[in-house]
């Protein structure tokens, strides 16, 4: 599935060649300064290869979210990973992170890439991505913009909502834009995994693709932890 563009100036499909100079600059900084990195061409090449691998890894994450491939998504996280979403911290891949992506996020309703709501597009500086790989190539930090649909089940005991749920509906959805703040690290097999993922929301709007207008909305931050809330976070921010 193709990843939708945020706008004409920015695409979620990364252009490796266009970002090469920025990659080398960040690699130099992580390696101990531009002078040290430029004196070691082999290190520059290796760090560039690692960044390209991480960008492809992030593409795979977004594509899995688009398709609702929960098990594939969960396999991208480290065992002790944590995800910060809407004021809640979901801890440990097999516990909190699974609860978030398998139970709380509605399949095909949450996390799918969608165009920004009209009038709510992210500013140019908010659309910039960045990625830094450590000199030992065992960890990395990144910031990637996102423009997604978010959905949560409607909280109502009405018969209409109950009937909607039986047909896969009964979900309140909205558009959300912001940035992923990601910390990566390699596992013992040398594969990149997500150690920490934070959804930093910059804008929300009541919007459906194809409409010409959107209205701002507010969404209450998570206030109840697991197990009192079966789909709740392990901690609150």
Q: Which among 230, 228, 218 is positioned nearest to 86, based on CA atoms?
A: 218
In a domain, 9, yes or no: no
Compute the average pLDDT of residues 224-233: 95
Compute the average pLDDT of residues 8-37: 43
**Alpha-carbon distances, residue 58 vs 12, 209, 224 (angstroms):** 9, 24, 30
- Give me the pLDDT at residue 40, please: 82
Compute the average pLDDT of residues 30-58: 79
Looking up residue 74, the CATH number of its domain turns out to be 3.10.450.50
Q: Given pLDDT bands bounded at 50, 70 and 90, which one contains residue 155?
A: low
Compute the average pLDDT of residues 43-54: 96
Domain count, the chain: 1
In a domain, 154, yes or no: yes
In a domain, 2, yes or no: no
In a domain, 3, yes or no: no
For residue 115, the enclosing domain spans 20-236
In a domain, 196, yes or no: yes
Higher model confidence: residue 109 or residue 119?
A: 119
In a domain, 11, yes or no: no
Q: Given pLDDT bands bounded at 50, 70 and 90, which one contains residue 65?
A: very high
């Amino acid at each position: 599935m193709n990843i939708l563009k945020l706008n004409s100036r920015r695409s979620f499909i990364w252009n490796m060649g266009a970002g090469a100079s920025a990659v080398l600059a960040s690699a130099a900084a992580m390696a101990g300064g531009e002078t040290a990195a430029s004196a070691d061409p082999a290190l520059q090449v290796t760090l560039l290869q690692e960044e390209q691998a991480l960008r492809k890894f992030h593409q795979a994450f977004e594509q899995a979210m688009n398709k609702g491939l929960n098990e594939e998504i969960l396999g991208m996280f480290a065992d002790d990973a944590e995800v910060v979403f809407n004021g809640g911290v979901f801890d440990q891949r097999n516990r909190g992170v699974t609860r978030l992506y398998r139970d709380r996020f509605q399949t095909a309703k949450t996390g799918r890439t969608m165009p920004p709501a009209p009038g709510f597009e992210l500013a140019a500086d908010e659309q910039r991505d960045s990625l830094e790989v450590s000199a030992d190539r065992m960890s990395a930090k990144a910031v990637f913009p996102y423009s997604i649909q978010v959905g949560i089940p409607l909280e109502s005991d009405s018969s209409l909502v109950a009937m909607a749920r039986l047909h896969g509906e009964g979900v309140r959805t909205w558009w959300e834009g912001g940035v992923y703040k990601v910390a990566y690290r390699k596992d013992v097999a040398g594969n990149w995994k997500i150690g920490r993922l934070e959804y930093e929301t910059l804008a929300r709007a009541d919007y459906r693709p194809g409409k010409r207008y959107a209205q701002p909305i507010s969404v209450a931050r998570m206030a109840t932890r697991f197990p009192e809330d079966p789909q709740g976070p392990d901690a609150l921010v």
